[in-house]
Structure 1
Amino acid sequence: MAASDSTILGVVILTRHGDRAGFYQDPITYTASSTVITPLGAQQEFQLGQHLRSLYLNATSPSFITGVNDTLVDQTQIHVRADAGGELGVIYDSAVALLQGLFPADTNYTTDLANGTVVTGALGGYQYVPIESVEPANDVSLEGWTSCGAFDASTTAFYNSSAFAQKRNESAAFLSQLPPFLDGRPVTLENMWNIYDFMNVQSIHNEAFSKALPPTFLAQALTLASWHEYGVFTSPQLDGIGNIAGRTILPQILSELASIANASDPLKLAYQSLAYKPFFSLFNMTGAAEQNPLLTGVVPYAAAMALEVRQPLAGGEPVVRLNFKNGTGEEFVTYNFLGASDDVPLSTLVNHVNPALINSTAAWCTVCSNTQDRGCGALALAASKASGGHHQPIGPVGAGFLGAGLTLAVVLAMLAVLAFLGMLTVGRGRAKKAGSTHSRVIFPLVP
């Protein structure tokens, strides 16, 4: 469907963070060490925000969002979330930088005082866009893979597979040449992400390293790292544990798409700042990677996916268009998905992924066989109290129905315990202020 055949109602944007200092993540659990964004990374995200503004908040653009306030931030029209997990401030700071480009300072950001004075916002009308900081300890939606025993077991099984053994043999000659460039890091295929990440960071920030590294080595390392990470963060089965990054983020994405498609809902633009992992699962679960093999690679810094909600001029239900920008210096490209050769009806996307969704903390605890971390301990305690002290395991949530199979008494007990522990907020969580440390928890609802 050509742009002229539809109008754009809004967009859900997913971006990878900008350039950062090096860090390490465990090859099995993917538990990550903290790192910091660089000035280059902040600039990359700011420029990405400017580019997004030129597309969606520019009245002369064919992708201008119908009815959006393109000057001053209307907080009812935008919803922003940022992963506050393993890479800590890098992802959150990337969101701040992007929003500076998306909604730049505006001298019309003023207030009239009772004494007749007109005051312009600080820094020439700098606009403060609320950002929901998503802490993985309380909310599983943006980092479904951490503290998940089933995911760890799946990763180990991948490392023990015949395909991995074959790739290890194929890459042995190349890996044997890398020790002089890795400052003592283990040179194994299992550690391939950390190998590539170190080489990439050093190539950007260390002139001596960049000059010493043979010209093909970084590209070869990226190819191996992409194969490695795609194998870890995807599954052939839609509801496979390798897809957990997509299975936990998709409920929020679908909710935002539905809000944009709903004429009575003011939401126009939803933005989530992420690590690279969910992109693998999302491209796999939607079939986009199958139709477009380019999408099996590691997405670079400041890459962006834009899921546009469009209304066909000929009528009918809203459709979704998948656009992807493969890092800085690239333009957005439209990619087909779900086997289609055109935009996909929103209901088709929902019906396809719905059986695999992990819609609640309770469901995640069950899938990951976790009874202690990320709210699972509180849920287990609540269930035990509700059953008179005898533990009743919480069964899987079926086909997108949140909390199906749980009794009202169990849910009320959960709420009481979570509230007592200070872990619970009620509501959609659409407008958390920047700098807030308060996070919502996904928990089952009663059908």
Structure 2
Amino acid sequence: MATASKVIGVLVLSLFGDRIATYDDPTTYRMSSVNITTLGQTQEYRLGQLLWQTYFNHTSLSYLGDPSPISALVASGAVRFDADMGGQGHVIYDSAVALSQGMWPPVNIRDVPSITLANGSTIKSPLGGFRFTSINQIHPWDDVSLEGWLECPNFETAMQSFYSSSGFRQVEKDNEEFLSSLSYWVGNRSTSLSDIKNLYDYLSIRYIHDAAFSSVLPSGVLNKARQLASYHESGVYTSTDLNSTHNVPGRALLPKILNAIEGIANKSNPLKFYSMSLSHQPLMSLLSMMGVSESYANLTGLFSQAGSIALEVRTDNDGENPFIQFLLKNGTSDPHYSGYALFGGSPDISVSKFESMLQPFGLSTLSSWCGLCGTHITRGCGSTRASNNADLSSVAAGLMGAGATLFVALMLVTLCVMVGLLKVGEWGKRLGAVIVAPMQHSRKGSNVKSGGEQSENDDEVRLARKWEDDQGNASAG
């Protein structure tokens, strides 16, 4: 690789900052009402400051060479921010906001923009010159790429197979005494190894934010819980077999990563800085797929709060031979980014080799994700029968297609009523309710039920069963 080089762009993948939550589920401690804390905002803000100093400060050796205002950079396509809007609620989005503000904070008070109106009054920009940054909200029901494991039946099967494995059962047996001891600290709830990630989150949040709790929690309990949580998450979301369904978080995200790298390396493309704010699952999966976690024991397991990966795209000083330098900063304990080897080699790898190593395993179309997950129903997979080349962001289009189908069905029902072919009575009302009910869907983001799981309270299930019962009664009469 070239000894002298220059940075032409960077893709940054970062984890959300500290958050706090209520725990409504009495058995699993699954989070609800998740909110970023002031600590989390500060963590992300400081990460943003470091990124600005590294890539947008003209004195930096990695300066990207564009002093334009952030509004112009975003408008031109040179800078892009994406944020996952799924399982952590607004925490990831709020983390992205704090990160962007660390990069482009409010302007100097002397430079606050102002305008003078026709009547002579002067209006200054609010919030001390706050600079608004456009952040793309990626919703998991519109785009499967950032949360590829949701409503994926084959992934759930793989997870259950991991729980049933002899290795998992042995680890649970070896730590039976420790897991049982957690009951005192988590309200006497289930403390099986399969629950350990939720339990660790609970212990960690209380340890950080509850002084009375942190003063009495025995030394080593939190570290031990983190070790077991890391074992659990690694077993669920990673695999040394890159084709494995366990790697669906990374495989679903790969096309976005490869497209970003290709865009930065393309001289005609304006993209210079691309930030993705994510949950820990795709980060863990990607570190495994790139061979990083296998080479570095300290990077095996959970990513630390506000941790970040930087994939720098560099060229030689003549602007040729693009290659990637892999950098990582594991949370706030790391003061700066450090280089790590990829695929057991070096931190530097040519763009073409990086793509060839990973591209075969990326889920580049919605149909490929549906095929891996073994579903033709959830997250827009029904639409892939008509279009097998739809990309991973085509879920919304699939839903629109379903909506159009329902609209046509309703129009046909209306036409039949108008010409007298269908009688509108109680039966007609119920039929209409059954047709409309599926659109009244409460499943969003990480709160979705697994494919096939239904609740007696679901409107469409209740209405359909009532309609079936009424038809049975009518037939009997």
TM-score range, shorter-chain basis? 0.7 to 0.9
Residue 244 (structure 2) aligns with: 240
Task: For 1:13 and 1:281, locate their aligned partners in 2 and report how far apart those are by CA, in whole Å.
Answer: 16
Q: Tell me the SS of whatever aligns to 1:344.
A: strand
> Within 1, Cα distance between the matches of 2:23 and 2:64?
40
Distance change (3 Å), C-alpha of 1:105 and 1:306: same
**Deviation of 1:135 (Å):** 0.8
Question: Residues 432-443 of structure 1: matches in 2 within 5 Å?
Answer: none
Distance 1:414 1:308, change over 3 A: same
Give me the CA root mean square deviation. 3.0
Give the Å deviation of 1:297: 2.0
1:252-401 map, 5 Å: 252-313=256-317, 316-330=320-334, 331-380=336-385, 382=386
Distance 1:141 1:318, change over 3 A: same
1:27-46 residue pairs with structure 2 within 5 A? 33-46=32-45
Quote the offset at 1:364 in angstroms: 1.3
Matches within 5 A, 1:16-55: 16-22=15-21, 33-55=32-54
Distance 1:285 1:113 in 2: 56
Is residue 14–residue 273 contact of structure 1 (8 Å, CA) maintained in 2?
A: yes
Distance of 2:338 and 2:126 partners within structure 1? 37
Q: Which residue of 1 aligns with 2:80?
A: 79
Q: Distance in 1 between matches of 2:323 and 2:140?
A: 31
Checking the alignment, whether the CA contact within 8 Å between 2:380 and 2:399 is kept in structure 1 is no
CA contact (8 A) 1:30 1:146 kept: no
Matched, 1:140 2:138: no
Aligned to 2:195: 191
- Matched to 1:341, the amino acid is S
Query: What letter corresponds to residue 56 of structure 1 in structure 2?
Result: Y
Q: Quick one: structure 1 residues 119 and 348, their matched pair in 2 at CA, closer, same or farther if it must change by over 3 Å?
A: farther
Aligned AA (1:13): V
Deviation, structure 1 residue 341? 2.1
- Give the corresponding residue for 1:407: none
- Cross-structure match for 2:89: 88
- Please tell me the residue identity of whatever aligns with 1:337: L
Q: Mapping of 1:212-223 within 5 angstroms?
A: 212-223=216-227
Q: In the alignment, is the contact (CA less than 8 A) between 1:106 and 1:125 conserved in 2? A: yes
Q: One-letter code of the match for 2:376? A: T
Q: Whose helix fraction is larger, Structure 1's or Structure 2's? A: 2
Structure number with bigger Rg: 2
- TM-superposed CA distance for 1:294, in Å, is 1.6
Q: CA deviation at 1:44?
A: 1.3
- 1:146-189 alpha-carbon deviations (Å, 9 max, x no partner): 10001100000001111111211221122122111012331111
CA shift, 1:316, in A, is 4.2
Alpha-carbon shift at residue 39 of structure 1 (Å): 1.6
| Preserved CA contact (<8 Å) 1:234 1:284 | yes
* 8 Å contact kept, 1:311–1:318: yes
Q: Distance in 1 between matches of 2:402 and 2:31?
A: 27
Find the aligned partners of 1:12 and 1:35 in 2 and give their Cα distance: 27
What is the CA-CA distance between 1:111 and the residue it aligns to? 7.2
User: What does the per-residue CA deviation read over 1:131-150, in whole Å, with 9 as the maximum and x for residues that have no partner?
Assistant: 11111011101000010001
Deviation at residue 117 of structure 1 after TM alignment: 8.7
Shift of 1:357: 0.7
- 1:99 aligns to what? 100
Aligned-residue identity in percent: 38
Q: How many residues align?
A: 395
Gaps in structure 2 of 5+ consecutive residues = 392-396, 407-443, 445-477
CA gap 1:13/1:292 in 2 versus in 1, 3 angstroms:
same
2-structure distance, mates of 1:25, 1:280: 27
Letter in 1 for 2:10: V
Distance 1:350 1:419, change over 3 A: farther
> Offset at 1:112?
6.4
Q: Distance in 2 between matches of 1:127 and 1:191?
A: 42
- Structure 1 residue runs without a partner (length 5+): 384-393, 395-401, 405-412, 423-436, 438-447
Separation of aligned partners in 2, 1:7 and 1:119: 43
Q: Secondary structure at the match of 1:375?
A: helix
Q: Secondary structure at 1:123's aligned position in 2?
A: coil
Q: Give, in whole Å, the separation in 1 of the partners of 2:229 and 2:24.
A: 13
Q: 1:232 to 1:120 in 2, by over 3 A?
A: same
**Bigger shift: 263-272 or 289-298?**
289-298
Q: TM-score, normalised by structure 2?
A: 0.76
Q: 2:233 maps to which residue?
A: 229
CA shift in 2, pair 1:227/1:415, >3 Å: closer
Deviation at 1:419, TM superposition (A): 8.1
DSSP 3-state at the match of 1:125: coil
